[in-house]
Amino acid sequence: MDKQSNAGMRKRQQMAKSSRMMFMWIVGVSAIVGFSVVLIIFLAQRIWYGEKVIAEKQETVSVLTKNLEVVPDLQDNVRLLNTNESLQSVRLDENDSAIQVILDALPADANSTAMASSLQTKLLSGVNGVVVESMRVEPVSGVETDAEGSDASSGTIEFSFTVSVDSGNEDGLRNILQRIERSIRPFTITNLVIEAQEKQVSMSATGFGYYEPAQKVELVEKAVKP
């Protein structure tokens, strides 16, 4: 009985030892598999992120390449405009380039004071028999004032004026309109009222002048999120 008992005990011990070894192997293999899965996911994320960065770089290179391709055409157009006789004929200063006329016509700043001065001294004054009764140029809301108003990026400046002439000198009013029409700086008259009295004819107008907000071109850094 003792021999059989010892043999049975050894078998049980061997089976228990085998079970423990099997369990240890399973735990070890599971740990290795789990670590491998985590490593594969991490590498896949890094590869995917790297591809996103490369795609963004390729897009940047493509944009820069297209911009460089149009530079010669842009230079040719500028040179052509500088030889334009129509632009040269309306320069404010003989030393200015013809391109300066375009910059004067659409200034980059919403300077309502400068536009008021232009209206007062160059368009409304100096016409025989015309009297400037009133004139107003509204500051651009959100640019020249803190008040909320129309969209500051619209590039418009509101103005109004009233001029008058003696009866029989209505050609003076026509000259004022022609001056505004021929001005290198564009104006749009949205409302025009002419009133005739016994000895006087008055003309009131409201409208918009324009400016072109400066465009900023710069290289910026873009963060690519994983």
Give pLDDT tens digits for 73-109. Answer: 988 888 888 888 877 777 767 787 888 777 777 888 8
The CATH number of domain 100-210 is 3.30.1360.100: yes
Q: Considering only residues 108 and 159, tell me which one the structure prediction assigns the higher pLDDT.
A: 159
**Residue 67, pLDDT above cutoff 90:** no
pLDDT at 59: 87
- Rounded Cα gap, residues 166 and 172, in angstroms: 9
Of the ranges 15-19, 38-42, 64-68, 186-190, which one carries the lowest mean pLDDT score? 15-19
pLDDT at 24: 77
The full set of domain ranges for the chain reads: 1-82, 100-210
pLDDT at 8: 59
The amino acid occupying position 169 is: N
In this prediction the pTM is 0.59
The pLDDT of 185-211, averaged and rounded, is 92
DSSP 122: I
Structure confidence by residue, pLDDT tens digits, 199-225? 899 999 999 998 887 777 777 777 777
Alpha carbon distances (Å) from 74 to 63, 69, 82, 97, 161: 16, 10, 12, 16, 40
Structure confidence by residue, pLDDT tens digits, 5-21? 666 566 666 676 767 77
Q: Considering only residues 145 and 165, tell me which one the structure prediction assigns the higher pLDDT.
A: 165
pLDDT at 49: 81
* Contact (CB, 8 A) for 136 and 157: no
| pLDDT band (50, 70, 90) for residue 150 | very low
DSSP 203: E
pLDDT at 173: 93
Q: CB count, 10 Å around CB of 216?
A: 5
Helix (H/G/I), strand (E/B), else coil: 220: coil
